[in-house]
Amino acid sequence: MTDDLLEDAIVRFEEALPHAALSEDARERLSRPASSLKVSIPVRMDDGSLETFAGYRMRYDDTRGPAKGGIRFHPGVTAAEVTTLAFWMTFKTALMDLPFGGGKGGVAVDPKRLSPAELERLSRGYIAAIADVIGPDVDVPAPDVATNELVMGWMAHEFAKIHRGHQPAVLTGKPQALGGIPGRASATSDGAFHVIRTVQPRMLDDVEHPSAAIQGFGNAGAQLAGRLADAGWRVVAVSDSSAAIHDPAGLDVGALVDHKADTGALTDAPVGEEIAAEDLLALEVDALIPSALEGAINGDNAESVRARVVFEVANGPVTAAADRILDEAGVQLVPDILVNAGGVTVSWFEWIANRTGDRWSAEEVARRLEERMVTETAAVVAVADERDLPLRTAAYVHAIERLSRSMDATGTSTLFSDAER
């Protein structure tokens, strides 16, 4: 990932500005991150050697509340990447009307080459390095790429050791035994499902059993595939980093989930036929659902997309250049800051429960998540219709105006007339 990703994100922000009520003060405050931290994390490896890894924590904005955003372990993690992801989180939390700002963090590492003990030492070392800049009222991390509830448990325990006290609200996405909440593991896919079902009558009302191709068969992609199949969709293609599997009649999603759980990959799947990864993006389907990493659909391959609608489950899977190509081709798009907001919404529920000492049932989590996702999806659609905007632009407008109102409410410059300054 390069600085181009951040530039891409800013393009979307700037495209929304002519349609949004944004004060000059708020525009200035959104032009750069509030804080940026780079750390070095020395880790003793199992063979006795010492390796040092680069880690980052970015707080882009905290006007509406503590920064919120995941921690990813990936070889491609850079300062530019976490800045972009924190930028997106700022708008995502505002879009969902959550009392959070935007943050993000990560470590440049290939976690697949680490033993479980090395992974734990790295996780604890990362928290030790950033412990002074996170906290329940400051910045609340969560899982992201290649981190999970086990990693969050290690991190929460390390933070408690450093601060000599149990503070479960410092991290979300934890094991339930350490204050986690039911439904967090499926929150992203559940939220995406509610968005899709809410806009389905608007975009695919003429199709009884819509077809979907899902790029990315990790946690979110696989769970969403299952929910769509149960709802009568035909999931005709899925892919992971090892293979893409296709069956125009519809795949047996359960068989693929079991196969990947057993083997770790989709290669040699018991159903469907393998196709080239790039061919999945070009399938003639009702919905294309990129659920992997950023930039999957770009200026080089967007012209091959033949889906009617693209639902962005991954963060930033469609570049700004691809946006223009898809728009010209009549392909509708539902943006990531709405589609994948289920994760941060359920993280909010966990944060509330941790701070109050309450316990939430799985049923309560599911009910409140569906209610929030449907409400905010309807709000974005209303903005799009009232102002004649694409859904991505409408989502940013909705988020920007919420951010602007919050920023103006805290800015001293609005309290004085020009003569008093």
Active site residues: 104
Neighbouring residues of 371: CB distance < 8 A, sequence distance ≥ 6: none
Q: What is the separation of C-alpha 76 from the centre of its chain, rounded to a whole number of angstroms?
A: 17
For the four alpha carbons of 318, 324, 329 and 332, in that order, the dihedral sign comes to: positive
Q: What is the 3-state secondary structure (H, E, C) of the chain?
A: CCHHHHHHHHHHHHHHHHHCCCCHHHHHHCCCCCEEEEEEEEEECCCCCEEEEEEEEEEEECCCCCEEEEEEEECCCCHHHHHHHHHHHHHHHHHCCCCCCEEEEEEECCHHHCCHHHHHHHHHHHHHHHHHHCECCCEEEEECCCCCHHHHHHHHHHHHHHHCCCCHHHCCCCCHHHCCCCCCCCHHHHHHHHHHHHHHHHHCCCCCCCEEEEECCCHHHHHHHHHHHHCCCEEEEEECCCCEEECCCCCCHHHHHHHHHHHCCCCCCCCCEEECHHHHHCCCCCEEEECCCCCCECCCCHHHCCCCEEECCCCCCECHHHHHHHHHCCCEEECHHHHCCHHHHHHHHHHHHHHHCCCCCHHHHHHHHHHHHHHHHHHHHHHHHHHCCCHHHHHHHHHHHHHHHHHHHHCHHHHCCHHHC
